[in-house]
Amino acid sequence: MSSSDSDHDRDHDRDRDLTSRSAAGLAAAVRSGEVSAREVVDAHLARIEALDGSVHAFLHVTADGARARADALDAQRRSDGPESLPPLAGVPVAVKDVLCTRGVPTTCGSRILEGWLPPYDATVVARLEASGAIAVGKANMDEFAMGSSTENSAFGPTHNPWDLGRVPGGSSGGSAAAVAAGFAPLALGTDTGGSIRQPAALCGVVGVKPTYGRVSRYGVVAFASSLDQVGPFARTVEDAALLLEAVWGHDPADSTSIPTPCEPILPGLERGVAGLRVGVVRELTEVDGIQPEVSAALEQAVKLLEQAGATLDSVSVPSAIYGLPAYYLIAPAEASSNLARFDGIRYGLRVVPGEPGSANAAAMNGATRHAGFGAEVKRRIMLGTYALSAGYYDAYYGQAQRVRTLIIRDFDRAYEHFDVLLSPTTPTTAFPLGDKVDDPLAMYLSDVCTIPTNLAGAAAMSIPAGLDGSGLPIGVQVLAPGLGEAVMFRVARALELGFGFAARARPGGPA
Amino acid sequence: MTPPEPSTPSTPSAPTTPSETDAPDTIEVGLDGHADGWELVVGLEVHVELATATKLFCGCANEFGQEPNTNVCPVCLGLPGALPVLNELVVEYALRVGEAFHFDVPAQSVFARKNYFYPDMPKNFQTSQYDEPICLGGHLDVDGVRITITRAHMEEDTGKTTHVGGGGRIHDADFSLVDYNRAGVPLLEIVSEPDIRSSEQAKAYASELRATLEAIGVSDVKMEEGSMRVDANVSVRRRGSDGFGTRTETKNVNSIRSLGRAIEYERARQIEVLEAGGRVVQETRHWNENDGQTHSMRSKEEAYDYRYFPEPDLVPVAPTPEMRAAVRAAMPELPAARRDRLVAAWAITERDAAALLGTPGLADYAEAAVSALEALEALEALAVDGARGGSPRDIVNWVNGEIAGHLNETGSSPAALSLAPAALAELVGLVAAGTISRNQAKDVLGEALADGRRPARIVTDRGLAQVSDESSLGSVIDGILAANADAVAEYRAGDDKARKKKRGFFMGEAMKALAGQGNPQVLNRLLDEKLEGNG
Ligand SMILES: [Zn+2]
């Protein structure tokens, strides 16, 4: 990356200021003419250039495309006036590498897709562009979104901006780290079992997993189709709502997309929580090995909401404890089928074994998958293949689907008495790189609080709730029934005001 | 198409029954017409490509014969991230099939993934239906026998692999090319119960199924092009036993006739294996049209585990009552009713009607020709000089005769004939009006089929029209009688035998003078009048 001539007079403080601002603030500044979209983009690209060598939030930075897009928006403002600008004009966004971007490398963190240039944009990417937001790069991730630390990326891990020796969480670790490090005020991730909320918690940012079907999955490289959902990262609750509202809504290209209109979030964001009933989920709070500071943060969240006028009580969602095992049958089962298409025939990596001309399609297929997939992906493909096998289907996949039905029922019962639910996002704060790579089960447990929401197809988000004794961010999770985003965001906003985290905290690490 | 009636028991001419068993006095001959003590059991799996404008899950054109890999998009190529959207017309077509074959259509049906690796299958799973198909428990009556149809379900077709080098076979090919134009084309798989007991019955079932699918407009049912593919599950068992033998599945059957041959071959092969003390291997076999045999496909006969599970990218299919009512209301006439109607309206035989319905498009062609014939009659020959009269039966005779023969020879379809139905009506009219003889008409038909000229035009071009005009024929006869006064005198004096001989002579002279184009009926009458009248 190199700065263009017009950037020479820009000083470091100015860049630092622009990369600290919220998306809402940047959009307003671009609209008012205080800064140009190009200045905003250049400031963020400069910060990426300076710091991403140590964070590794990006697999691919689209500097040229971002500058061209910024220039086009600036030209539009000059010719058609500020009113002509779309709502997020000039706001940089990091895009998880699982989202297809036309002509821009999309690897899903896997060798098997290295060099693949999608011929089409994911619906959310197209909507992002229509909103005026500017994609600055493709964010690192656990290979095919399988993982909770971004260490499963074939292209090396992302480092937590708060402590470079620790993981950012995963699988959307690159997106979370990019927002935490000031590389972009917004990012898109995907959440299959907590892949947005867990890294948001570990990186001290807001992360939202919307209701299943609320955001289009068209162009999202599938991990587990019945669980995957795209959602926003931001440093403020308002920014997260802005991004969600830019990309959500019915998409005829996704058959599981919900056709009912979206209830806008922003108009009610500041309405407060007075009179709302909030339930603290016992099964997601009394988790084995939970860090005391995480429990303390949750207690503080309860107090903050009570002070703001909400009614708090404890609630049981009994089947939630079966979420983790059910998830690790359903998700790998679907993944084993979704990932079958990576066979070396049409796109991506192709490995031809043996003497030239001696291999057949099956041998090429096997060699390609052997070389192209990492250990965790292989593990889950095998798990899923087994779970779907004749004679085991009922005991595994079938049983897991029955658990899923129970979880949905139990949440429904809870929501008869509560508007939203509350829990920690993760049992612990960010763990050191390498700590759990040899212990898949320990790694899986870091998603224990987030998984039930995916199984239920409901909404949930993680809000920064302060720092632990080591200066690492803690997250609390607000859970809402399906299509309950508006009330969920109101509660999140109240917690944001109460914790005052966004206003004061910046990662100390690389900044 | 009619299965043989159960014959009366016959005495075997040369009993070969092993001596240690009691030789029966008579041998039962089964429905299948065989007297060897074995009963054939057949079930058919029919895949039909639905003739929708677009594919099952994307907007790509569903058309045959395009440049490879031109009708493709991220969805039907199974690109990462692409998602299917169900083509509603496919559901409508499936509902038509549901009506036509008296299926139950459950309130909802579910797509499932059938997982297996194959290079021409872009996702390495086929989106199909499994335990909740759209149609369950239908039937089709074939010559008075009810064949139960287990189910019909929607699924996507695969691409097409071409093996290059090494004789085009997969095992020794240099490389393979895959064309994904067909990937994602909508299919309906229609699976019968093993209710079929003879190859003739299998052929009749497949033929009636094809005619029905054609009638309801869901497919062009071309077996040669693969838009209708029939796989035969064949087993044999001892007559009188009620268990089933081990079955084989025979694929690559490209015509109704081949279906009968393949089943007969499989029957004989399995009996030979069993009578030699062997076991029939459950396997997929490939029919070879050239050697008239089925061949094991050499696949390691492991039982495939397709790991079916519900397709998470699609929602259940739940046709509304309104949709079903609309389909029911719009159901066209089915083959059985159509045969009855044509028999009654055209005074043709059941056999003729069955033949018309037995070839896709042939009955439509005949009906169009009959309409044109009626129009010709209504116009009182204003349209075409010298074409008048003729009956639907004449049309049917041509259609089931020369035209069906031409289609068989050329492999063409009725719709593609260069002889339009109206032109056939014209031809029939020309014969009926006496303008040309039936023999001449055959030549005219041959030329019309070859170059598309109208029959009346061919008649004119070749000067074929019979001379029927009385005054011109009369003057020709007058000339001949005048020039042969002796013969006339001999005629008048002669006995019956001599008169007949002379009369033949006069006719021959007249025809010679008319270059064979005199209308024989008119000539005969005029000759009689002039010979007798003058006497
Ligand atoms: Zn397509």
Model pLDDT, residue A144: 98
Check whether residue A226 and residue A352 sit in a common domain.
no
* Chain-chain contact of A256 with B113 (C-beta, under 8 angstroms): no
Measured in Å, residue A227 CA sits from the centre of ligand 1 at 25
Calculate Rg over the CA atoms of chain B.
Answer: 31
Q: Which domain holds residue A199?
A: 15-318+410-499
Residues above pLDDT 90, as percent of chain A: 89
| 3-state SS, residue B98 | helix
Chosen domain end from A360, A375, A403: A403
Task: Provide the mean pLDDT of chain A.
Answer: 94
The mean pLDDT value for B205-231 works out to 94
> Starting at the edge strand that comes first in sequence, how are the strands of the sheet with B248-253 ordered?
B135-142, B145-156, B186-192, B38-49, B228-238, B248-253, B284-288, B293-296
Check whether residue A242 and residue A110 sit in a common domain.
yes
Residue B379 has pLDDT above 90, yes or no: no
Check whether residue A243 and residue A384 sit in a common domain.
no
Check whether residue A21 and residue A92 sit in a common domain.
yes
Task: Decide if A9 is inside a domain.
Answer: no
Nearest-CB residue to A253 (from B85, B113, B307) = B85
Check whether residue A137 and residue A91 sit in a common domain.
yes
CB distance A206 to A473 below 8 Å = no
Closest approach of A227 to chain B, Cα-based (Å): 9
Pick the more confident residue, A342 or B172. Answer: A342
Nearest-CB residue to B83 (from A253, A362, A393) = A253
Q: Is A257 a catalytic residue?
A: no
Task: Decide if B290 is inside a domain.
Answer: yes
Check whether residue B119 and residue B179 sit in a common domain.
yes
d(CA B353, CA B339): 5
Pick the more confident residue, A240 or B358. Answer: A240
With CA atoms as reference, the chain A residue closest to B116 would be A340
Check whether residue B262 and residue B344 sit in a common domain.
no
Closest approach of A338 to chain B, Cα-based (Å): 8
Nearest-CB residue to B80 (from A100, A225, A390) = A100
The domain tally of chain B equals 3
Residue B156 has pLDDT above 80, yes or no: yes
Check whether residue B114 and residue B180 sit in a common domain.
yes
Check whether residue B444 and residue B517 sit in a common domain.
no
**A8 — pLDDT class (breaks 50, 70, 90):** low
Check whether residue A304 and residue A330 sit in a common domain.
no
| 3-state SS, residue A59 | strand
d(CA A388, CA A337): 10
Pick the more confident residue, A178 or B384. Answer: A178
Task: Decide if B9 is inside a domain.
Answer: no
Q: Work out the angle at residue B140's Cα, subtended by the Cα atoms of residues B138 and B143, and round it to the nearest 5 degrees.
A: 160
**B4 — pLDDT class (breaks 50, 70, 90):** very low
Residue A417 has pLDDT above 90, yes or no: yes
Check whether residue B279 and residue B296 sit in a common domain.
yes
Check whether residue A306 and residue A426 sit in a common domain.
yes
Residue A227 has pLDDT above 70, yes or no: yes
Q: Work out the angle at residue A466's Cα, subtended by the Cα atoms of residues A463 and A468, and round it to the nearest 5 degrees.
A: 125
Check whether residue A256 and residue A306 sit in a common domain.
yes
Check whether residue B296 and residue B347 sit in a common domain.
no
Find, among A474, A460, A481, the residue nearest to A191 by Cα: A460
Q: Is A148 a catalytic residue?
A: no
Backbone φ and ψ of B90, nearest 5°: -65, -40
CB distance B316 to B110 below 8 Å = yes
CB distance B486 to B414 below 8 Å = no
Task: Decide if B484 is inside a domain.
Answer: yes
Give the range among A168-182, A436-450, B364-378, B385-399 with minimum mean pLDDT.
B385-399
Q: Provide the H-helix boundaries in A2-62.
A: 12-20, 23-32, 37-55
Chain A CB within 8 Å of residue B117 CB:
yes
**B8 — pLDDT class (breaks 50, 70, 90):** very low
| 3-state SS, residue B501 | helix
Number of other residues whose CB lies within 10 A of the CB of residue A20:
15
Task: Decide if B512 is inside a domain.
Answer: yes
Residues 6+ apart with CB under 8 A from A113: A106, A107, A221, A342, A347, A348, A349, B80
pLDDT (tens digit, 9 = 90+) per residue, A46-78? 999 999 999 999 999 999 999 999 999 999 999
Residue A130 has pLDDT above 80, yes or no: yes
Q: Which domain holds residue B350?
A: 335-462
**B13 — pLDDT class (breaks 50, 70, 90):** very low
- Can you read off the two tokens belonging to residue B373? 């014939």
CB distance B319 to B135 below 8 Å = no
CB distance A204 to A162 below 8 Å = yes
d(CA B535, CA B530): 8
Task: Decide if B381 is inside a domain.
Answer: yes
Task: Decide if A234 is inside a domain.
Answer: yes
Task: Decide if A223 is inside a domain.
Answer: yes
Check whether residue A110 and residue A224 sit in a common domain.
yes
Check whether residue A346 and residue A436 sit in a common domain.
no
Find, among B136, B133, B114, the residue nearest to B125 by Cα: B114
Residue B12 has pLDDT above 70, yes or no: no
pLDDT (tens digit, 9 = 90+) per residue, B342-358? 999 999 999 999 999 98
Check whether residue B291 and residue B366 sit in a common domain.
no
Nearest-CB residue to B81 (from A220, A343, A390) = A220
CB distance B74 to A120 below 8 Å = yes
d(CA B82, CA A254): 9
Chosen domain end from A368, A384, A403: A403
Task: Decide if B411 is inside a domain.
Answer: yes
Show residues of chain B in contact with A225, CB under 8 Å.
312-313
CB distance A208 to A461 below 8 Å = yes
Alpha carbon distances (Å) from A435 to A70, A166, A380, A432, B1:
41, 9, 20, 5, 75
Check whether residue B363 and residue B415 sit in a common domain.
yes
Pick from A337, A347, A364, A397 the residue to mutate for testing the B interface (most B CBs within 10 Å): A337
Calculate Rg over the CA atoms of chain A.
Answer: 22
CA torsion, points A405, B126, B97, B234, in degrees to nearest 10? -110
Check whether residue A104 and residue A157 sit in a common domain.
yes
Number of other residues whose CB lies within 10 A of the CB of residue A11:
8
Task: Decide if A8 is inside a domain.
Answer: no
| 3-state SS, residue A427 | coil
Alpha carbon distances (Å) from B307 to B282, B283, B435:
20, 20, 70
pLDDT (tens digit, 9 = 90+) per residue, B178-206? 999 999 999 999 999 999 999 999 999 99
Task: Decide if B403 is inside a domain.
Answer: yes
d(CA B75, CA B82): 5
Check whether residue B389 and residue B345 sit in a common domain.
yes
Task: Decide if A36 is inside a domain.
Answer: yes
> ipTM more than 0.90?
yes
Task: Decide if B326 is inside a domain.
Answer: no
**B14 — pLDDT class (breaks 50, 70, 90):** very low
* Chain-chain contact of B176 with A361 (C-beta, under 8 angstroms): yes
Task: Decide if A92 is inside a domain.
Answer: yes
Chosen domain end from B462, B485, B500: B462
The domain tally of chain A equals 2
Show residues of chain A in contact with B119, CB under 8 Å.
343, 345, 361
> What does the buried/exposed string (b/e) look like for B218-250 if buried means 16 or more CB atoms within 10 Å of the residue's CB?
bbbbbbeeebbbbbbbbbbbebeeeeebebbbb
Task: Decide if A45 is inside a domain.
Answer: yes
Number of other residues whose CB lies within 10 A of the CB of residue B372:
21
Check whether residue B197 and residue B343 sit in a common domain.
no
Check whether residue A89 and residue A237 sit in a common domain.
yes
Task: Decide if A205 is inside a domain.
Answer: yes
The mean pLDDT value for B406-427 works out to 91
Q: β-strand A473-480 against A420-424: which pairing, if any?
A: antiparallel
Q: DSSP secondary-structure letter at A397?
A: I
Measured in Å, residue B218 CA sits from the centre of ligand 1 at 20
Check whether residue B137 and residue B178 sit in a common domain.
yes
d(CA A74, CA A81): 10
Find, among A159, A220, A250, A231, the residue nearest to A191 by Cα: A231
pLDDT (tens digit, 9 = 90+) per residue, A15-45? 778 999 999 999 999 999 999 999 999 999 9
Pick from B69, B76, B77, B83 the residue to mutate for testing the A interface (most A CBs within 10 Å): B83
Q: Is A171 a catalytic residue?
A: yes
Give the range among A309-313, A382-386, A458-462, B425-429 with minimum mean pLDDT.
B425-429
Check whether residue B149 and residue B269 sit in a common domain.
yes
